């Protein structure tokens, strides 16, 4: 149980199809809309990763991970790749270079192209990319699109990928976008790496009701809906506690953030530097235990350890809080939090910046190349991939995930095998008045912890 402490968000052939599916254009956003945001955090590391000394990805020796590193550290099962499943990624604005960027990413890491890849645009076409549009953060949305597509595919390379592009980041247009894809792709997995502090939506019940109708429709259609829990602690940067929506919805699985324990940040001159790589000597470097098999290469060999994601140097921490909008759902009755309201996250995943994942981008406005990217937005698409593996093993869609997830976690034997229990750290964002500490079992900083994917997939597939 956690303790409260005080003082955001794209084929055997790549099919880049712009399908006119949504009956809404960019000009149709309501003046009463709230605006969703994405907050991927990136550091440029160059045009190629072939010469990097893994897991150190820059001259500053920031920790970074390739798909194989994450796959090994989180114990992804052999023999499952998401074949027959569809992952729907919802983003605003999209990225004009996503097909090329995914192909470059796949080539770098030896991944096959997805069996199909659709980019679905509004009736009036995808919004022209404008890197100078800082009001809506189009560069951030393009980074988010690249992160979401590349890493959902990397963790479930056999799954079909659908990128649903909303014409703006307003709540209304994203809701309309999601309504369309929910009807179009029953039995799929929908990832949402965006959110808004609940404090900013409590006076806009119509938008929330519109979204909740979508999530109920998703449950009825056998769709698993996931969302990132946010990157700014228990307060979302405010002076009081509030969760991030839509991760706080009772109908959505909220994905929080962790970082390696021990944590190393090569950009912080006052911090402890990562250890030197010594030939054939295992050591824990962030999320993973590594062993130098040569003088230059440190491949991941096993899971190391994790703590709550909290990087004060970058001004970020994992979202996790008691909801201002929703009461405690029945599936959380036995989590031990004692809260009368919905609490997030439900599960967590690596979100560190120093300890981030590698993403390739080539859109205008930033240097073309590979970036280390962090944030809870990295967890939602990868958990979507985990669900795709479980669906494949099960032979049918799991649909709404939380009831099954909590039932497994509340079984002591299954919890010990299926989750890494995070017991170190807290999510109090630097400069804010409160947060939650990690503890044994469920906690509001990390939920049930991070997955041992092979074991969790097996138990999800076997769940009633």
Residue reference for tokens 């959902």: 152
Closest Cα to residue 43, out of 288, 344, 274, 268? 268
What are 346-399's pLDDT values in tens digits? Answer: 999 999 999 999 999 999 999 999 999 999 999 999 999 999 999 999 999 999
- Residue 124 has a pLDDT of 78
Domain that residue 391 falls in: 3-45+77-260+317-462
Does residue 51 register a pLDDT over 70?
no
pLDDT over 90 percentage in the chain: 73
Query: What average pLDDT does range 405-424 have in this prediction?
Result: 98
Lowest mean pLDDT among 17-26, 195-204, 250-259: 17-26
CB atoms within 10 A of CB 450: 27
Run of H or E residues at 176? helix 171-184
Tell me if 394 is assigned to some domain. yes
What are 239-250's pLDDT values in tens digits? Answer: 999 999 999 999
CB atoms within 10 A of CB 246: 28
Collect all residues with Cβ–Cβ distance below 8 Å to 107 and sequence separation of at least 6.
none
CB atoms within 10 A of CB 178: 26
Query: What average pLDDT does range 424-443 have in this prediction?
Result: 97
Confidence band of 203 (pLDDT split at 50, 70, 90): low
Tell me if 299 is assigned to some domain. no
- Residue 300 has a pLDDT of 65
Tell me if 158 is assigned to some domain. yes
Tell me if 406 is assigned to some domain. yes
Phi then psi dihedrals of residue 406, to 5 deg: -70, -35
- Residue 423 has a pLDDT of 98
- For residues 378 and 338, what is the distance between their CA atoms, to the nearest angstrom? 29
What are 155-186's pLDDT values in tens digits? Answer: 999 999 999 999 999 999 999 999 999 999 99
Tell me if 84 is assigned to some domain. yes
Query: What average pLDDT does range 260-277 have in this prediction?
Result: 83
Most confidently modeled of 1-10, 128-137, 238-247? 238-247
Q: What is the pTM of this model?
A: 0.92
Closest Cα to residue 164, out of 347, 24, 369, 28? 24
Query: What average pLDDT does range 74-93 have in this prediction?
Result: 97
Query: What average pLDDT does range 194-203 have in this prediction?
Result: 88
Does residue 16 register a pLDDT over 70?
no
- For residues 192 and 90, what is the distance between their CA atoms, to the nearest angstrom? 6
- Residue 50 has a pLDDT of 55
Confidence band of 57 (pLDDT split at 50, 70, 90): low
Does residue 21 register a pLDDT over 50?
no
The CATH number given to whatever domain includes residue 136 is: 3.40.50.200
Whether residue 190 is preceded by a cis peptide bond, meaning omega within 30 degrees of 0, is no
Tell me if 137 is assigned to some domain. yes
The pair of structure tokens assigned to 397 is 């869609």
What are 291-349's pLDDT values in tens digits? Answer: 766 555 556 678 999 999 999 999 999 999 999 999 999 999 999 999 999 999 999 99
- Domains contained in the chain, number: 1
- Residue 17 has a pLDDT of 33
Query: What average pLDDT does range 278-298 have in this prediction?
Result: 68
- Residue 272 has a pLDDT of 80
Of residues 58 and 463, more confidently modeled: 463
Give the ranges where 340-425 is alpha helix by DSSP (H): 379-394, 402-409, 412-418
Tell me if 382 is assigned to some domain. yes
- Residue 126 has a pLDDT of 84
Does residue 10 register a pLDDT over 50?
no
- Residue 31 has a pLDDT of 46
- Residue 6 has a pLDDT of 60
Q: What 3-state DSSP class applies to 150?
A: helix
8 A C-beta contact, residue 102 and residue 154: no
Tell me if 271 is assigned to some domain. no
DSSP per residue, 26-55: GGG--TT--B-B---EEEEEES--TT-BTT
Collect all residues with Cβ–Cβ distance below 8 Å to 224 and sequence separation of at least 6.
188, 189, 190, 218, 253, 384, 387, 397, 398, 399, 400, 401
């Amino acid at each position: 149980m956690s303790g409260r402490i005080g003082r955001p968000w794209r084929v055997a052939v790549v099919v880049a199809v712009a399908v006119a599916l949504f009956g809404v254009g960019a000009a149709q956003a309501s003046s009463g809309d709230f605006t969703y945001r994405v907050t991927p955090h990136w550091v440029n590391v160059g045009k190629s990763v072939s010469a990097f000394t893994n897991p150190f990805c820059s001259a500053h020796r920031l920790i970074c991970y390739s798909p194989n590193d994450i796959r090994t550290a989180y114990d992804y099962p052999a023999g499952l790749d998401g074949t027959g499943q569809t992952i729907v990624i919802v983003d605003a604005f999209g990225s004009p270079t996503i097909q090329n960027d995914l192909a470059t990413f796949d080539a770098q890491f030896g991944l096959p192209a997805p069996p199909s890849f659709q980019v679905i645009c509004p009736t009036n076409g995808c919004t022209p990319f404008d890197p100078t549009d800082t009001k809506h953060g189009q560069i951030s949305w393009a980074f988010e699109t690249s992160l979401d597509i590349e890493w959902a595919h990397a963790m479930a390379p056999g799954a079909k990928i659908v990128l649903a592009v909303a014409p703006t980041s307003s709540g209304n247009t994203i809701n309309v976008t999601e309504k369309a894809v929910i009807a179009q792709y029953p039995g799929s997995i929908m990832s949402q790496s965006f959110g808004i502090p609940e404090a900013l939506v409590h006076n806009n019940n119509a938008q929330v009701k519109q979204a909740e109708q979508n999530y109920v429709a998703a449950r009825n259609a056998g769709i698993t809906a996931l969302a990132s829990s946010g990157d700014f602690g228990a307060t979302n940067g405010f002076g009081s506690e509030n969760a991030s929506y839509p991760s706080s919805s009772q109908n959505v699985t909220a994905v929080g953030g962790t970082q390696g324990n021990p944590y190393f940040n090569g950009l912080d001159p006052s911090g402890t530097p990562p250890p030197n790589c010594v030939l054939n000597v295992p050591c824990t470097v962030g999320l993973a235990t590594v062993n130098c098999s040569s003088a230059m290469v440190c491949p991941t060999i096993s899971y190391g350890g994790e703590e709550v994601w909290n990087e004060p140097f970058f001004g970020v921490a994992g979202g996790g809080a008691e909801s201002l909008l929703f009461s405690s759902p029945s599936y959380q009755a036995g989590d031990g939090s004692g809260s009368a309201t919905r609490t997030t996250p439900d599960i967590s995943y690596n979100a560190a910046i120093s300890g981030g994942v590698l993403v390739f981008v080539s859109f205008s406005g930033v240097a073309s190349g590979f970036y280390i990217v962090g944030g809870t937005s990295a967890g939602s698409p990868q958990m979507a991939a985990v669900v795709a593996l479980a669906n494949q093993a099960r032979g049918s869609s799991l649909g709404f995930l939380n009831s099954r997830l909590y039932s497994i976690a509340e079984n002591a034997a299954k919890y010990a095998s299926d989750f890494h229990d995070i017991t170190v750290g807290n999510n109090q964002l630097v400069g804010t008045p409160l947060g939650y500490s990690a503890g044994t079992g469920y906690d509001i900083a990390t939920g049930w912890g991070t997955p041992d994917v092979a074991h969790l997939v097996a138990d999800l597939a076997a769940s009633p």
